Amino acid sequence: MEHHKQPPPPKGLSGYLDALARVMFQTGISWRVVEAKWPGIREAFHGFDVARVAKLRDSDIDRLMGDTRVIRNRRKLEAIRENARQMLALDIECKGFRRYLDSLGDFEATKKALHKRFAFVGDSGSWYFLWMVGRKVPAHEEM
């Protein structure tokens, strides 16, 4: 991927879910495909409003499986809902998702915590998510 300036931290919880979902969809799929579909995915997920995504029912997932705007992988769609629930719980518990990330320590500890808590977030996904939300990460070559 081309080198880009690191984005600033998200202003709200939806920005964190947007970044996390992007990482999840890119697992096993070309980032170019995800990038091209992203506006439609964002629209289908109501701008990644975390409370709204967390409340998705199975019938909503069924509807998304028929929506050509999204990458129709049921396991990932269900995981986005579950990850939204996790994110919402952490946001409440830690009085902010950013505070949750702050509490995790260094990059290695944060990477392990994200991998353990969120579906479809491995080592490189953790790095990319943290980079996208304005966190300090090691040079990608050092991963």
Please give the domain boundaries of the chain with CATH numbers for all domains.
Answer: 13-135 (1.10.340.30)
Q: What is the pLDDT of the chain when averaged over all its residues?
A: 93
The DSSP code sequence of 82-101 is HHHHHHHHHHHHTTSHHHHH
Question: For residues 121 and 2, what is the distance between their CA atoms, to the nearest angstrom?
Answer: 21
Give Rg (Cα) of the chain.
15
The answer, yes or no, to whether residue 84 has pLDDT greater than 90, is yes
Question: For residues 28 and 43, what is the distance between their CA atoms, to the nearest angstrom?
Answer: 22
Q: Residue type for 62, please? A: D
Question: For residues 24 and 29, what is the distance between their CA atoms, to the nearest angstrom?
Answer: 9
User: pTM for the full model?
Assistant: 0.93
Q: Which residue has the higher pLDDT, 1 or 16?
A: 16
